[in-house]
Every structure is written in C-alpha cells, then in structure tokens.
Amino acid sequence: MTGTILNIATVLIGGLLGLLFGARLPERIRQTVVAGLGLFTAAIGIQMFLTTENAIIVLGSLLVGGILGEWWRIEWRLQQLGAWLEKRFAGGDGEVSSSNRFIRGFLTASLVFCVGPMTILGSIQDGLTGDYNLLAIKSVLDGFAALAFASMLGVGVLFSTLVILVYQGGLSLLAFQAQALISETMMNEMTAVGGILLVGLAISSLLEIKQIRVGNFLPALVIAPLIVAILVWLGI
C-alpha cells in the first residue's frame, strides 16, 4: 500500500496547488494545458492499444462491457457519487445539473489516475514484493496532472483520491491472487482496452470533441481477460 499512499499524497498536493494558484493563470493558458494533457492522454492510449495480441478481443470486450455498463448505469452512478461528495464535503446542493464542473473533475481525474498499465502492474508489484517504483513514477505524473486538472476542473479532482484508495489499494491487497490468475496475454488485452478508454476520455472530457460515456465501458477491463481465458479453454 506504500505506493498507493504516495500516489494519494501527490494528487492531493498537486490538486491543492492547482486550486490555490491555478486561478492566476490566464484562461487561454489553462485551456492549452488541458488540451496538451488531452493530446498526451490520447497518445498514451493509442500506445497502450498497440500491446494487443488480438484486436477482436478488444472490440468484443468494449461491446460487451459497454452494454453491461449501460445496463448497470455506471457513469450515472459515478455522477451521483460525485454529486453526493460535493453536497457532503464541498458545500454543493447535490444536484447534478448544478455540479457539472465538480463531477467532471471527479470523473476525469478518477479515470485518468486509475486506468492504465502502471496502475495494474504497479499495484501488483507493490502488493506482492513491496517494490513501489512503478507507482512512484505514476505518482509524479499524477501530481502534475492533478495540478492542471484542479486549476481547470476544480475541487472534484481531489476526491478522486477515494477512487485511487479503493481501486489501486484493492489491487495491491489482492496482488498475489491477481498475479496467480492473470497471464501475460490477459494483461496485454486489459492494457489495450484501457488504452481505448483513455482515448475516449481524451476525446470526451479533455479535448471536448464528442461526449462519450466512458465510465460505462469500465466492465470491459474485466471482460477482456475473461475472453482470453475462454479462448484458451477452447484451445483457440
């Protein structure tokens, strides 16, 4: 859990610096910074997708995961969580329509900080061997990202640390089991799916090209290794 705690600390520090000093930056500079983060996020997402060994598995995972996400209304539930957090801790009235900036910051930061190969590999490595080098590198990147996000999207970015604690910390606590169950091929397909989600996030929240309910695709991260396991079982 050392890496997760370090990650939370850097996000909080970066986010607070963004809230305190971000307003002093001209709007055009902040927009350019977020656009740069969007372009970089899209590029990282494409790089992650290229790790796939079978693009059809990624497509199938996205389709099945997207259907499940829409059925379970994951994005809506995340929005409701963001609205509750704002009402409870940030003095908002809890209505989604009046807290769009808070929710956008919470969703964007949560997805950016928790979707990626460094999160999965770093958490497993930290939990299994106590080596948190990967998560330390991720923490530095997330800290700078939190500064930019908070200056543009507000206090909701800080509350993404709750998602980091649950998701990333949970992965670390289950590291041994995950390491025993997840093969290299499964990891590659999960990474490829995560890359597509990052591209979708860049298009939707950062570059604001087209609205995409990226949160509803999160089940695809679980579907991908399941498809690989089924194909191996069938001998395909």
pLDDT tens digits, 17-27: 988 887 677 77
Number of domains in the chain: 1
pLDDT in tens, 80-94: 876 776 666 555 554
Q: Rounded to two decimals, what is the model's pTM?
A: 0.76
Amino acid at 28: R
Q: Report the distance separating Cα 51 and Cα 60, nearest Å.
A: 16
If one counts every other C-beta atom within 10 angstroms of the C-beta of residue 209, the result is 11
Q: pLDDT tier at 16 (50, 70, 90 boundaries)?
A: very high
User: For residues 13 and 219, what is the distance between their CA atoms, to the nearest angstrom?
Assistant: 30
Contacts 24+ apart (CB under 8 A), 164-169: 164/4, 164/7, 164/8, 164/11, 164/110, 164/113, 164/114, 165/4, 165/8, 167/114, 167/119, 168/3, 168/4, 168/7, 168/114, 168/119, 168/123, 168/135, 169/1, 169/4, 169/123
- 3-state secondary structure at position 135: helix
- 154-193 residue pLDDT tens: 888 898 899 899 988 888 888 777 667 778 898 889 889 9
Q: Could you tell me which of 228, 205, 203 has the C-alpha nearest to residue 52?
A: 228
Higher pLDDT, 75 or 93: 75
Please give the share of the chain, as a percent, with pLDDT higher than 90.
25
Residue 190, domain extent: 2-234
